Structures are given as structure tokens and as C-alpha cells.
Structure 1
Amino acid sequence: MSNDDDDLPFGLYERLVTASLKARLLRFDSDTVRIVKKELDPAEAHAALARHVANVLSRALNALPQADRVAEQSELTNQIVGLLAANPASDGAQDDLVEIPPEELRAIQPIGKTPNPNRDLVAPLVALSASDLLVNARGEPGLAHALAHEIPSADSIDLLCAFVRWHGLRLLEDQLETHCRAGRRLRVITTVFTGSTERKALDWLVARGAQVKVSYDTQSTRLHAKAWLFSRASGYSTAYIGSSNLSKSALVDGVEWNVRLSQVGSPDILEKFDATFDTYWESPEYESYEPIRDAARFDRAVAPQQGESPEAPLLFLDVEPWPHQREMLEKLAVERERHHRFRNLVVAATGTGKTIVAALDYKRLCDQLGDLRLLFVAHRQEILKQSLGAFRQVLRSGDFGELYVDGHRPDEWHHVFASIQSLAQVDLKQLNPNAFDVVIIDEFHHAAAPTYRRLLEHLFLGDEVNPIRRPPRILLGLTATPERTDADDILHYFDNHIAVEMRLWDALERGLLCPFQYFGLHDNTDLSSVRWSRKGYDTAELERLYTGDDARVRLVLEQVRQKHREAGAMRALGFCVSIAHAEFMARRFTEAGLPSVAVSADTDSDARKDALASLRAGRIRALFAVDLFNEGVDLPEVDTLLFLRPTESALVFLQQLGRGLRRHERKDCVTVLDFIGQSHRQFRFDLRYRAITGTTRTEVEKQVQLGFPFLPAGCSMQLDRVATQIVLDNVKSAIPSRRPAMVKELRALADARSASGRRITLVEFLQEAGLELEDVYRSGSWSGLQREAGLSLPAPGPYEALIGDRLAAILHVDDPLRLGAYVRLADSAPVDGLPDADRRLMTGFHFAVIPSKVAPKTLAESVALVHAHPAIVEELRELLPLLDERSEHLTYPLDLAQPAGSPLRVPLSVHARHTVDDVLTAFRILDFDKTAWKQSGTIRDEQTNSDLFFVTLEKSEREYSPSTLYKDYAISPTLFHWES
């Protein structure tokens, strides 16, 4: 788009405002043109300024006359360098003066250590400092030729390549062999995906000294990247990133695009390449390949991809959990070891490996407690056989366990895999509850059925007055869908608590679920005046509105056809507000040529099964229902979801979304159409978007404004213009004004309890209001909120508001060591005789919570000051157990090689969250008499012989800053790249 100033067309810029540019901007009419400027980000200002100076200098050098041009360019360059050298901050700039006449260093190489000592090193075809795009076109070097010229000068090579084939490898055979023979590193990451990688090629690489790692995962995460990194100690590394695998067609005659990048021109990208490759290399997903050990496994892995039938493995393989499974196992350990809950429910999508998790969990328990008697219950023989196989693989025992199903009956009753049907036929009086230590029940959402209920009550809820009765120590329930309709019936077995719930985000990241494309579409309806209650919109009013609106149906049909180009082949689920609404939508879709059926809980069972079968077979295109698909119905064929009613509950929204996310061979992604109207002011859009994205409430607004840029691979979310504004207005109104809304909500809840004489607790308020601790402490404290609501509290101390406002600074605390010390601080004021560890931890509390303007001089004065505020003390007694309850990790005291039995010198915990002040007070670098300390880099603590490294991971204020992301990063759980 143009305007009167042809040099400044309308559009986006990242251009420094100079005096000249400022004058030109002033020529625009402020009534018709908006000029947007922003201060430089401190983390990236140096790069922006350097680019500007480079451009100015380049123009100036290029404008010099041709006569003696190089000499004059060098002289001008030295004048600028000299100016920098005069600045005290530019240490060493004087050494950067260009020698006259100017020369360019091309190589440094040893003499006498090569067959041809006077022969120059082979240089890349593209200059070391240049970038280029190679497209295998006539008149430019082919990729294979370019790579062959990069290899000789590389000190190390990293190759990330989905397919490695012999005919591609042999094009670089001589160069790679010479590279490896010189003792230089060559790392290769590849996959067995599609069976394209050839073992012959990998064997050749390993034989020459290359390190090779392979991903054997063919079902979820699929490596498609093709990239080379040629690292040079001289600082002139280069990289190739593009479409070419290591095959002849890709390197020679394929229509391939590959970008060549240089460290000089694109240092940030090469740093990111190096960091990401190291992270992949350390990931357990990529396993080292050794021909003697792994050849048979590799052949078995590629055979099914090539359409062959692999031979069955003869040996047990070590079963290593995926990262998401490790997290699930850790949460189970936390529930038992930290919170002492031994009946736990695991909720995770089908395909996430819940049975493997159960087997690994059982193995860990046996390692800790010895052999444990096991009862594994499922409702189908196939599940039992697969589960038994999984346990045998994990335990590396071919004779582990006995089946009790379809005529099989246990002999020893020590490790039993039983069907619920077989157990239902047993007189439970003959089944001794003491016979099992661990009970695992698969598809636990069936537990509301009478057969399951009888078994569970017999095992866990029997006659407690019987002194010899001992229920199993551990109950583990596994399910993909804790249905809303009977959730209360199953959750009471677990004290109404879900121990492990795999987040949607994690499952999508792992490729365990089908990616989705979400479209939020304005439907021209206005729900702002629809009657609202604590349960949400009035269903009857919504039904009248939706069933009387043919224009909305036309819009829905139009969007279905527009977003789903093959609507006549789709398999869709539509979620409606009522039975009448579902029948209305099915009728209108059928009339439009898309055969559809409405089903509900009132629909005859056989008719419902027929409808589901028709959708699977493609005889109908859509099923419209109301709260029906929360019953564990498995429909992996569904590729389209229609949200035709406002759904505020994150639980219901995720359950409905999950109905389309099961993987199926005939679908690449799920199309989600969410029809959005003008909402009631009490309706909250942020709940659903937080559930999808895994972000906090305050981050949702940014996500909506930016168009949801940070989603798992393959997923996208788009809101149309009107829907975006509706959601943004709703989110903005919900977030900044939440404090008044919370006060009103608290007052109403407190009034409801006043009749019984009970005061409302912090945990009750959070549960009733659907809030998180961060919501309460974002702009105050719990005691402050109670005072604003007019609740009765002890008289305020002198600094209650100041201290209350700073309690948010301890919300990160998640380790028993620190929480225990804070509990003791709240329980008692005297500090005489406290262990040194407690004193250091309480000092950390002081620097976090006590305002500097109050400034007690000793720990005793600080603790006394806290107890001068009884409402704050009472608030701590409510808050600290909540912090402990939401802890998700097992933590361990930091071991600094202390003598056995000695008191803990540095009270920090591994795997816990700490602030800088927490760390410094634990080391006594920060104390009441030591308030000055170095705020970045490293600190040496001589008393413990320790070096403390501090890292700022988010250096830029931008949502995404490629120039600052890869200075400090975690390579693996045990390696960290530090460059601060």
C-alpha cells in the first residue's frame, strides 16, 4: 500500500528513528495516519543499533571515490574504531584497527602434518560469511557438491536427517571418511519412519567413527527436519537447512530448496541450531545405534514401514518411559510419598501408555517394598492379554501373572489379571481382601456399574470392625474419560481427587493426539440478556433462541462447507443446548444434503448404537447431541467438531474437544468450529482458552491478540475479527476487575454460611469461586479480601496491608523443608534455640515478605513483627497447607558432601522452586547483617566450597526473541548450557 511519501509505504517496520526519519514522519497527517513507535528492548538494543551503524557505514564506504577506494575505506573504518576506543566501555577496541594496506585472513593451518603441507584447505563454494539459497537449478552448485566442499574445513559435523540412504551417503563418502579418520566428530540423528533409512548406510557411518542415534517411534513424534551444521573453531561455522534428506534424489536431481546460513551473518540461528541439536541428542527418544547390538532391532522397526512382517523379538527390551510418562510416575510418587494418598486415579487420553505407566509404577513399588500381590481388572480379554504382556515386558519375566478370563483360572492367585465378568461370577466371600497389596482397574469410568461397585466395596469398604481385615495397600484407577455423568460415583473412591491428569497440551506435543484446527466464528447472536444463574445460561432461553434462528443455521452450514472442503465426507459431532436444539440441527443439516441424526440419553440404546455405527461407516455426516458423548464413547473416526452452544466449563469443553482428538488413519487433523455470540457479562471465555493453551489467565489476552502463536506442532487457533473482539472484551473485563467481583463473591458465600455459624476458609472460597491462589494474591491478600468483604477478623496490625501485599512472594514455595519452617514460624514467635537451618529459612521468609521500609534488625524482631499481625498469622496457617497440597514434585535436601549425620548446612531442596533471595539466605550470603550482594553472574561461597551460577532465562520482554533464547538453556535433565 502506498502513500504520498513513496519511501515510507504503509506497513510494518523495525527501523530506528533517526533525525531524517523523524522529519519525514512529521509530514504525515495525524488525523489520517497512525504512527506506532516503541522504545528499544534493553535485551536487544545493541543488535538494533549495531545493524543501524553497519548500514550507515556500508553506505558511506560505498560512496567513497573509486581512486584509492580500499585505502580510504580502511582509513574511515579506523577513524570509527578509534572513536569507539576512546569510550571507556569499549575495552580493547584499539586492537580492532584495520592494518594498512588491508588484508583478509583466509586460513591458519599446520605445516608438515598433512600429505600435501603446502596445499590450501578446501574452502566452501559459498563464502564462509555469506548466506545463499540452493535450489538444484542450472548454473548453480548442486547441494551434494556444496556439502562436499563444506566437510574438509569442518571441525565437527552434526546431521539431523529423517532418511539416510546409501546412494545419498556415497556421494559424500570420501569427504566424510577423511573427516572421521582425522578424529573429528560426526553426529547423526535419524529415524525409522516410513522405513526409508537404510541400515547399510548407518553401519558404514558407525564403522568410520560416526556417532549415530535413531528414533524408533513411528506412531507419534516424526522427525521431518533435514539440516547440517558444520562447526569451525575459527568462528566461521555454517549450516544448511531445507528439504533434502541424505538420498541421491534429494542431493542431486530433486526439486529441493535448502538455505545456507553463516555464523557471521546469522549467529542467533546457528546458536539455536546447536542448542536444539544438543537437546535432541540428549533426549531419550533418540537412542544410540551400535550395529552388533541394534541391527536386529533396527530391521524389525523398519520392516512394518516397508510392508514386511517382522519376526517376533526373542529377548526382553528395557522399557524406558517417555517424558510424559515420567511425569505421570512422578506425580503418583508425590501422591503417595508426599501427600500419603494411596488410592489414586490416572486420567490420560487413549494412546498415552497408561498401562505401561501402571506396570512401571508397580515395578517401582516392588523395588521399594518387595514382591507385591497384584489384582489387575479389565472388562475385555484383549485388554487383559495386552496388559499382561506389558507387565511381563516391564518386569522382564515371561511367566509373570495369571489370567482369569474366558476359561482361564489362576492357580497361585498371586498376580492375577481378571475380567470383571469372571470376578462377578465369584462368591466374593471366597475372595480374601487381604490377598492383594495392589489393585489396578483399567477403564475405571466403568466403576459406577454394579459389578465394579460390588468388587470395590468388598476390597476397600468392607466391615471395618473385623480386626483381621486389611484392604489392599494401593488402588490405582486408569481412565481416559472420568465422565461428568457419573464422576461423583467414581471419584469418591479417591477422596474426590484426580492424582494424575495428562494435560491436553502435553499429549498434543507428544503427537499422542490428533492435531486440531480451531476456528472461533461470530454467529450474530446476542446472549447478553439471556437469564444467568450460578449454573450459567438458562437452557430454555438458549433453546428458544437457537431453534428459532434459521439464519444461524445457514451460517453454520456455510462455515462447515467453507472450512471443511469435503463436508460431504466429514464425520462430525455437534454439541447442542437441548434435545430440541439437537433435533432442529439434525433436521436442517439433513435438508441441506448432509444426512444427520440427533441422539440423547433418552434415545433407545439400539437406536443410539445404530447412529454411532452409521457415523463410523459414513452413512450419516453428523451426530447432534446434548451431554451424551461424556460416556466414554470411542469415535476415532470423528474429524469435525461443532460447538453450537456456549460452554464455560473447562472440564466439559476439554471432554468434548477430546472426542475428536483420537488418532485415526483417515484423518490428519480435527476441524473445530466454535460459534461465538455476544456473551453475558458473567460468562468467562478465558476458562476454555486456558484449558487449551495451558497458559495463565493473564496470558490469555496476549494469546488472543497475537493469534495463539505458541501451539503444539500441527495445531492452530483462529478467531474471526468480530469473535476476537468479543473474546478480548470479555477477557479484559474478567481480569482487571476481578478484585471487586471476588469481594462480591466472598460476601455472598460468607452470608450463605452465616446461618450455620461457620466462617468460609480460603480453600472453600477458591473451590466455590473457581479461582486460583494467584487470583487472590495478584492484588492483595486473603485477609485483605476478607476485610474488603466486611468479614470479621482480628484487629489489624500496624503493617498488615504492606505485609499482606507481599505474601504473593512465597506462592512459589513447594518443598517440605521450607514449608515446614514457615509453619513453625506461624505457630510460634520465639526463635531462641531454633536449628540453624530454620533460622536461615525464616530469614528467607523475612526478605520475601517483610517490607524494607519496616526493616527489623534481627530474626527475632522480624518474627515478632509477623505475630503482631494475627490476621496474617491465621492466613499463613491456611495458605501454607495449600502450597504443600499443590506441590507436584518430590524434593530432596541439597547434599553438599556433608559428613554423615551432620546438621543440614544449606537448607535448599533439589527439584524445588527457589527465588534468588531463598538461595542467598540459605547460604547466608544474604542476612540481617549482610544485605549487599552481587546480583548476577557467579558468586563464590568459601564456607561450602560452592560456586553459585545465576541465569536469566527470559532476557527480553518480547513474547519470542530468537536473539536471546539460546544463550542459557537446558540441554537435558542433567546438562545445562550456561553463558551468562
Structure 2
Amino acid sequence: MNGENKLIVNTEQTNLLKEITSSLETCQKFYFSVAFVNFSGLQLLLDALKETKLRGVKGKVMTSTYLNFTDPKALDKLREFNNVDLKVFVTDRNVGFHTKAYIFEYEDYFKVMIGSSNITQSALKSNVEWNVEIISKNEETFIQQVISEFNGLWDRSTMVDDFFIQDYKRFFNNIDRVAASGSAIYEKAEYIVPNSMQNRAMENLQRLRGLGEKKALVIAATGTGKTYMSAFDVRNLKPKKLLFVVHREEILTKAKETYEKLLPNEDITFGMLTGTKKDFDADYVFATIQTLSRYYQNFDRGNFDYIIYDEAHHATADTYQHVIEYFEPDFMLGMTATPERGDSRSIFEIFDFNVALEVRLHDALEDDIVVPFHYFGITDIDEIDLSDVSVDDLDEITKRLKVNERVDFIIEKMRFYGHDGKVRKCLGFCASREHARYMAEEFNRRGIPSTYLTGEDSVKARELRISELEDEENELQVIFTVDIFNEGVDIPSVNTVLMLRPTNSPIVFIQQLGRGLRKYQDKSFLTVLDLIGNHTKTFLIAIALNGSRYYDKESLKVAISTGFAHLPGATHIQMDKISQERILAQIDQEKFTSMKYLKEEYFEFKKMNQGRVPDLLMDYYKYDGAPDPVRFIVKEKSYLNFVAKVEKDQQLNQLLANETFEKTLKWLSGMLPLKRIYDFIIINYLIENQSITFDQAKHEILKWVKKIDDDSTYHAMEFLNQNFFDDTQKNRTPKLAKLDGEQLSRTVAFEELLANPNYARYLIDLVDYGLFRYEREFGGDYYGVPHFKLYEQYQMMDAALLSNYRKSHSSYRGSGLLSNGNDYFLYIDLHKEADIKESINYNDKFIDRKHLQWETQNNTSQSSERGKNIIFNQDRGINLHLFVRKYKEIEKNNVEPYIYIGEGNTISYNGERPIEVQLELEHIIPPQLYTELTEKV
């Protein structure tokens, strides 16, 4: 028993849900008194409640009808637990019910949590909530008062029986939910501001226009605010003439209303071009493509400054192509939820491959533009053994998955976890067409109306089944499918997703998950049930859920052990213990940097690319969950070298036989992922132009970032002139540019490479990838000199480039402390070997999230200049930049990067040769990162 009282708030590190579930696992009795319970919160507690039932632990739950927020569905579910007594305090106009208390009884003490949280997903996980946990002995006055008050309210409350439930359901289903909750929102144009997704899109559009681009594509799910985003962009740009094109007339009126709302008093006329309206002379014309395709020649080619194509995935159709080819606007924007990459790549070509924004799952959750999901990883039944079968052997997998006991098990789990909303609307993702047919037949036999769809069904058949699933009055509950719903289909009403096949691709997993994340009326979350088997690629689930393209064994293991706590909002990920152990064991055994693993990752991605060799780095930029191609570069020094090797491609090998081309690829690839963008911006300009002056370089850099200093601009030009290369680097790196005063010009070698379209294609792709990836990870912020971003990964030598060091950069290696003037760079290994499992007390360690202990090199004395600079760093103007890593190596012969945690200042010290220094950090370490760096898994 911990006698300390504590404040419980929802953070990355912990939340009220964790506190309640851990208490339910250990208590002898429990008593809850909350103003309301809804199913979104109760679902997160179901497994913990089930454990109390198995342990024979009794509980009492008391809630209320206050403000009609308590969900009868949640009450129904609670009644399934025969170890829980359930009562409702019936409120009236004069008496409210506001209690939020969770009481846990142990042998000789009580744990009480009292505060602001009811049982909802947001209150338990993501809201700003304060709850105080108090430990109190049985005989203390406080706990006697709490129990007495609980019993008094319990006695005044009504037992939830069949009569009460039916009566409350009738009332609940008949009330106006918006009016009852008081959640109607008053909107006024000047108060409507862009969300973070819209801001990012507008910033990227502005950047692309600054680069002289005339086309761009924005990809984000329906309902995420693309129309508002485009209206905000138009409001900023102020084009004189605008054309907004849609596929369906019902969207047109809403779009026009949005623009009129956001652009009042702008002296703009708004018009329609439809079957019934022909407002040719309006400033801003909103047109259906069907009508526009008949009348577009009524306008001059340059009539519109800005043209927007909503539902741009239709732009490949002939009707669109005639219109697009006719008009010559200053800028053309496409917006789509479904770029249909699987069937056609031409939409990207139409918009010059300029993707201004593609909202990734993690971003969408953080921005609250999709619903949160509750993922339950459930160990598959023992009868299913996939340990000796390839994930590509669909016939054998199908044969082994067609087990009646498994169907019963799936239905049992669906009923236990339930779903949001009145009726279940479910997509089940299967291994094959035969598996989908089998599942539909077996569900129908068990009384759950189901069907199946595959790529063999016609578009009309698909549309019919989808409309049936969307219709709440239709009895259809489940569509089982394979492949066709991975992307390109939007069914907002879906509230349940079943993952019934082995996961062999993080991309497919995320696409399937995304089918249920669309916001929909009264839909507050998506339920995801994933049957986790014993096949050899189970760990790919963890990579998909982790939400990051960049991972190592340690970050994955910590994510699993913390329930992926870093995912934002009310999203909840829960795996049962067997699944967790199975995945952790696979991660331990897998060699993520081995050629075997990288080849498997590459060929799986190639399948996603419709079997086309993904020979460009930008191919990886288009998919959420795609592999990080820099991992392939690290293996073979350039991506093209890797592809040529695994594909045994003679054409690529012939290209790489050109020594200048191959060396240039390796040099530029070695800078990926970029840690500063200036060098690649200058190279990008030199691809199109013979030379660049200092002023031009600064101008080009300012198209990508908000600010740049003169010294960094000139340092980048010097770097490209190879000023800081040692002899070995000069011998292995072709010189692309020559610096003469303040002008950098292309060399003959660079001219010859660019003259060959094949060489130029791959060099341009490499530069594009470097620039786009930097922009996504670093944005347009100016980080100063040294150019470090908090919590980004760096190698030792990066500090030379990023601090404008003007001697050989290759000297920046092999030491725990490097310096450039008043900037000291401290590189700290927190653990010496990755395979040491027991806790060892190293001298370099975190004391807490704000303080770090570090030892100098063995020869540093307190009286030396370096010693004084470290001890009295603030007085002497010395900046101590701190870089830490958990292990030097996690996989053999692969050195891990360091993580920059900001500057620190010495607050105490002792000892000689080495000096032990206590440092106070200028930035408190984020909880998730602190856990990753300090915890053993």
C-alpha cells in the first residue's frame, strides 16, 4: 500500500483508465458513483470487469439520469456482470447528480479516486481532468464518511431491472439529443478558424506556389474539412475569378454556402452552373462537371485564376480531362478522400505529383478529424495454427481459418465488446474470396445478416450492398470482403471492423482500419477486433499501430508494454497478455536491419505498388505505413543500389556502372533523412539553373523556411564546394558545384549527369524526397545555429554541419564530447549493451525528467579550461547540448543514432578525472520518450 495521495491527470504516461483497471485487478470490492456512464467509456473497462467476475470480486455501480447522458446500452451491458449491482439515481428539475468517485476496498485500507471524470472514453483517457487518489485506513474518519455518503445515495437510488431499462430506453430514444445535451453550436464567420490540418495544407499550398508550382493535390478523409480548407486558402489568396467543380450537385450547394459564410462582405458574386442555373458572369462559379463539360467553352481559357476540383479522383474521366486541358488558371487544386492509387496512378500525374497534404492516421487522430478507435487484440483459438504457413499462401490460410469454432469465438467477442450506436454496421476483412464467402454463410446461419463482396463483384452490386449497410432500417449488419475495401470506399456508418486474416502489411492494416474512422452522426468511436494468431509476421500489427515509420526494437517494445500510450485522444489499444508476449518474442527474434527482413519489406511494398518496381523514393511518400526507404539506403549506400541488387535488374546495374552517377547517388543518399534543408534547396535550384548567387540561394531557402541567417546560407554553399571534406571524402564524392566568391556554379560532372534523362530522373527523385520528407518532419521553422530540433535523431557528425563548423567534418566522431566555439556537444550512452537485461547502475543516467547525471571523459580535471567550461557553463557562456541514446547498438553492427534533448546547465559537480556533473535540462523530457529511454522491456 502506498500511503501517498496523488493527482491523476490524463497524459501520455498515464490516465485514469489505467488507474481504474489496475485497481480492479487487485481490489477485493469496488464501488463506483458517477453522474453518467456511456458505452464509449464502459467498453474500455469490460476486460477488467470480466476479471473481477472471474475472481469473484463484488462491485456496486451507481449512476444517474442527470441531463439524460447515461446510455441505456451501457446499463444493459453492465447488467451482464452478475457480480455487479447496478442502481440509477433518478434526477428531476431540482436535484442534479454530479458525483464522480471510484472506491476500491482492500484488506485493511481503501483507495478512493474523486474528481471530475465520468465513465466516457474522453474522461478516462484524453480530457483535461483532475482526479485525486486518496489511500485511507479502514478506521479513518474520511473513508467512513465516503462510504456512509455512498450508502445513503445507494439507498435513494433505483435498481436497474427490465422494467426500468425498457422505460428509460423509450424515453432516451425519443429525446432530441442535441437539444437535451445543449451541444448546439452558434457559428459566425469571424469566429471560424482553420484547424491544424487546414493550416498545414494552406502552408504547403503557399510553399508550392512560392516554388512556381501551378497544381497540387490534398488527400484527406471525407468530413475532415477540405472544403473549409480550400475556402480559407481562397480567402487568403483573394483570386478575382474562381471555379469550384464537383461531381454531385448535392455537394455543390453546401460548398457554395461554406464559401459565402467565410467570405462575407468581400464584394464577390457567387453563382451556380447546374442543370437549372447558369450564372456565367459570377465571380465565383460553383459547377457540376456534368453541366460544365457542356458549357466550358463559354469561358475564355484564362477566365479563372483559381480552379478547385472536389472529389478529384474522378479527374481521370474524359469529362474532366476536356475541362482540365482547356482552362489555364494560375493555380489548380484537387481535393479527394480516395486517390485510388491501387487502380490508377494518373491522378498524381494530373496534379504534377504535388501532394500538398496527405493526412496520416496519427495526425487525423490528433486533429480530431476522425473518430477514435478502440482496438482489441485477441489471441486466436488454439485450433488455428499458422506458424508453419507463409502469409502469401492464401489457399492454405483459408483452409485453416474455415473453422466453425472460430466463427463462434468471433461472434462471442463481438457480443462481449459491443459497438457504438443502435445497430451494428461492420466490415470483416478476410484472407480470400473463399474465406469471405464462408464467413458470410456462417454468420447468416447464426442469425447475423451478412454478405460478402470481392473484386469479382460489379460496381453496381457493390453500391447496392454498401447502401444496404448504410441504411439503419436494413437488416444487413456485416459485409465480409477481401482487398476491395482497403481504400477508395467510404462507408461513414461503419462502427465495427473485424481483422480476420494474418496481417502481412502495415499499409493494408492502416487502410482497413481507416474504413471505419469517418465521422458520422452520433458515432463516437470505432470498435476494432483483431484475431491475433501465431503466424510469423504478427509483429507487423505493432508496427502499424505504432503510428511511426521510424522504429527500432526498443521503441516498439515500449509502445506495446504501455498500450501505445503515445497515440493521441481517446483512442485505446489493448492486447491480451498472450498476444503481447507473442509479439514481443517475435520482435526480439526479428533482425530489422538484416537483408532478409529488408527484402521481405521491400517486396511486400512492391505488391502494394501493383507489382511495379518502386524505383523512386517518392513512391514511399504516398502511403501511410510504408517502409522507411532510408533503411534500404543504409544497407546498400543508395536506394537504387538496393533495388538493383534485390531485383537483379540489369538496366539499373548498367546505370550504376557510371562511377560518377553511383558516387553522386551515394553521397546525396548519405545525407538522408535531411537534418537541414539548405544544401538540397541549392542543389534543387542548380538542377534547373547553371549557377546560383548568395542572394538567390537565400531567396530559394526562404521559400521553404520562415527565416535563414546569412552564415548558414554561405556555409551550405561552402559545403557543396567540398570545403570541409577530408581527402577520402573528396576521392569518393564527385564535385557537383564550384564556388567562386558568392556564386556557386554547376561543374562539368553535374552537367553531364543532368544531360542524361535517366540519371537526372533518379537525382531529381532523391532531391525531391529529401526536401518533402524534411518539410513534413521539420516544417518551416528556423532552428537557429546550431540547427537542432528537440527530440530529433542525430549522428555525431551531424553537429559539424548543423553548427557551421569550418574544419573537416569527419573529425566529429568517436568522442563523448565535441565542441565548436562556445557550443559543447555531449553524447551520452545510458546503457552500455543492449543484451544486458538486469538493472545496472551506470553513472550516466536520468535522475528524473528534468535532471541528468553525466561523467566527463576520464582525463578531464576541474582545473582545466574544459573542466571549468563544463562546471561553470552559464557564467562562461558555454552552451551544453545534450544527446542521449539508450544503447549504442540494438542489432549487431548497427550503430543507433542519438536523440537531442536540448541544452542543460550544470547545477552541481564532484570528483576528478572524471568529473561527475548534475545537469538541469532546459526542457522536461516528454513522458513517452522518458519511458523509452529508461525502462527495460
Please name the residue that 1:440 is paired with: 308
| 1:377 aligned to which of 229, 241, 245 | 245
- Match of 2:568, as an amino acid? P
- Match of 1:841, as an amino acid? A
> SS of the counterpart of 1:506?
helix
Equivalent runs, 1:204-223 vs 2, <5 Å:
none
- Match of 2:219, as an amino acid? V
- Match of 2:361, as an amino acid? L
Contact 1:821 1:841 in 2 (8 A): no
Return the alpha-carbon distance in structure 2 between the equivalents of residues 860 and 612 of structure 1. Answer: 62
1:457 aligns with 2:326: no
In the alignment, structure 1 segments of 5+ residues that lack a partner are 1-8, 12-134, 137-195, 198-218, 228-239, 244-252, 258-301, 463-469, 751-757, 897-905, 941-946, 972-980
| 2:350 aligned to which of 490, 493, 496 | 493
Contact 1:690 1:697 in 2 (8 A): no
Please name the residue that 1:552 is paired with: 406
Contact 1:560 1:567 in 2 (8 A): no
Return the alpha-carbon distance in structure 1 between the equivalents of residues 281 and 685 of structure 2. Answer: 49
Distance 1:892 1:530, change over 3 A: closer
Please name the residue that 1:574 is paired with: 428
The Cα shift of 1:431 comes to 4.6
Please name the residue that 1:323 is paired with: 196
> SS of the counterpart of 2:444?
helix
- Match of 2:504, as an amino acid? E
The Cα shift of 1:444 comes to 2.5
Equivalent runs, 1:159-238 vs 2, <5 Å:
224-225=127-128
Equivalent runs, 1:253-268 vs 2, <5 Å:
none
Please name the residue that 1:661 is paired with: 517
Contact 2:430 2:436 in 1 (8 A): yes
After alignment, is 845-854 or 658-667 more displaced?
Answer: 845-854
1:349 aligns with 2:221: yes
1:391 aligns with 2:259: yes
Return the alpha-carbon distance in structure 2 between the equivalents of residues 621 and 759 of structure 1. Answer: 39
Please name the residue that 1:720 is paired with: 576
Please name the residue that 2:286 is paired with: 417
- Match of 1:335, as an amino acid? L
Contact 2:497 2:527 in 1 (8 A): yes
Cα deviation code 1:525-563 (max 9, x no counterpart): 34455567xxxx2444444443x4223223322322333
Contact 2:372 2:517 in 1 (8 A): yes
Identity across aligned pairs (percent)? 24
> SS of the counterpart of 2:345?
helix
The Cα shift of 1:775 comes to 0.5
Contact 1:892 1:909 in 2 (8 A): no
> SS of the counterpart of 1:927?
coil
> SS of the counterpart of 1:352?
coil
Return the alpha-carbon distance in structure 2 between the equivalents of residues 429 and 806 of structure 1. Answer: 47
The Cα shift of 1:804 comes to 6.5
How many pairs does the alignment contain? 641
Please name the residue that 2:682 is paired with: 820
Return the alpha-carbon distance in structure 2 between the equivalents of residues 409 and 825 of structure 1. Answer: 47
Contact 1:438 1:475 in 2 (8 A): yes
- Match of 2:550, as an amino acid? T
Return the alpha-carbon distance in structure 2 between the equivalents of residues 374 and 628 of structure 1. Answer: 36
Please name the residue that 2:328 is paired with: 471
- Match of 1:886, as an amino acid? R
- Match of 1:385, as an amino acid? T
Return the alpha-carbon distance in structure 1 between the equivalents of residues 713 and 362 of structure 2. Answer: 39
Return the alpha-carbon distance in structure 2 between the equivalents of residues 893 and 652 of structure 1. Answer: 33
The Cα shift of 1:336 comes to 3.4
Larger gyration radius, structure 1 or structure 2: 1
Contact 2:673 2:774 in 1 (8 A): no
> SS of the counterpart of 1:499?
strand
Return the alpha-carbon distance in structure 2 between the equivalents of residues 460 and 967 of structure 1. Answer: 53
Return the alpha-carbon distance in structure 2 between the equivalents of residues 504 and 255 of structure 1. Answer: 44
Contact 1:568 1:621 in 2 (8 A): no
User: What is the RMSD of the two structures over their aligned residues, measured on CA atoms?
Assistant: 6.3
Please name the residue that 1:645 is paired with: 501
- Match of 2:208, as an amino acid? E
Return the alpha-carbon distance in structure 2 between the equivalents of residues 515 and 739 of structure 1. Answer: 36
> SS of the counterpart of 1:225?
coil
Structure 2 length normalisation: TM-score? 0.54
- Match of 1:621, as an amino acid? Q
Distance 1:599 1:323, change over 3 A: same
The Cα shift of 1:565 comes to 8.1
Please name the residue that 1:92 is paired with: none
Contact 2:243 2:308 in 1 (8 A): yes
Distance 1:658 1:550, change over 3 A: same
Distance 1:419 1:364, change over 3 A: same
- Match of 1:655, as an amino acid? Q
Return the alpha-carbon distance in structure 2 between the equivalents of residues 540 and 394 of structure 1. Answer: 55
Cα deviation code 1:772-798 (max 9, x no counterpart): 34212445612875897795656999x
Cα deviation code 1:150-179 (max 9, x no counterpart): xxxxxxxxxxxxxxxxxxxxxxxxxxxxxx
Contact 2:428 2:498 in 1 (8 A): yes
Contact 1:373 1:414 in 2 (8 A): yes
Please name the residue that 2:769 is paired with: 882
1:670 aligns with 2:504: no
Please name the residue that 1:54 is paired with: none
> SS of the counterpart of 2:236?
helix
Return the alpha-carbon distance in structure 2 between the equivalents of residues 648 and 721 of structure 1. Answer: 22
Please name the residue that 1:30 is paired with: none
- Match of 1:387, as an amino acid? A
- Match of 2:190, as an amino acid? L
Please name the residue that 1:193 is paired with: none
Distance 1:716 1:863, change over 3 A: farther
Q: Give 1 or 2: higher strand fraction.
A: 2
> SS of the counterpart of 1:637?
coil
The Cα shift of 1:355 comes to 1.0
> SS of the counterpart of 1:886?
helix
Equivalent runs, 1:100-115 vs 2, <5 Å:
none
Distance 1:550 1:894, change over 3 A: closer
> SS of the counterpart of 1:678?
coil
Return the alpha-carbon distance in structure 2 between the equivalents of residues 473 and 381 of structure 1. Answer: 26
Contact 2:272 2:279 in 1 (8 A): yes
The Cα shift of 1:502 comes to 0.9
Distance 1:434 1:876, change over 3 A: closer
- Match of 2:409, as an amino acid? L
The Cα shift of 1:501 comes to 0.8
The Cα shift of 1:586 comes to 2.0
> SS of the counterpart of 1:317?
helix
| 1:608 aligned to which of 461, 465, 489 | 465
Contact 2:389 2:396 in 1 (8 A): yes
Please name the residue that 2:362 is paired with: 505
Please name the residue that 1:562 is paired with: 416
Please name the residue that 1:67 is paired with: none
Structure 1 length normalisation: TM-score? 0.52
Distance 1:617 1:490, change over 3 A: farther
Please name the residue that 1:583 is paired with: 437
Distance 1:364 1:612, change over 3 A: same
The Cα shift of 1:438 comes to 1.8
| 1:359 aligned to which of 231, 240, 244 | 231
Equivalent runs, 1:518-537 vs 2, <5 Å:
518-523=375-380, 524=382, 525-527=384-386, 530=389, 537=392
Return the alpha-carbon distance in structure 1 between the equivalents of residues 490 and 622 of structure 2. Answer: 31
Cα deviation code 1:810-836 (max 9, x no counterpart): 53245245542699799999x99x998
> SS of the counterpart of 1:350?
coil
> SS of the counterpart of 2:533?
strand
Return the alpha-carbon distance in structure 1 between the equivalents of residues 497 and 375 of structure 2. Answer: 9
Please name the residue that 1:619 is paired with: 475
The Cα shift of 1:304 comes to 6.3
The Cα shift of 1:511 comes to 2.4
> SS of the counterpart of 1:555?
helix
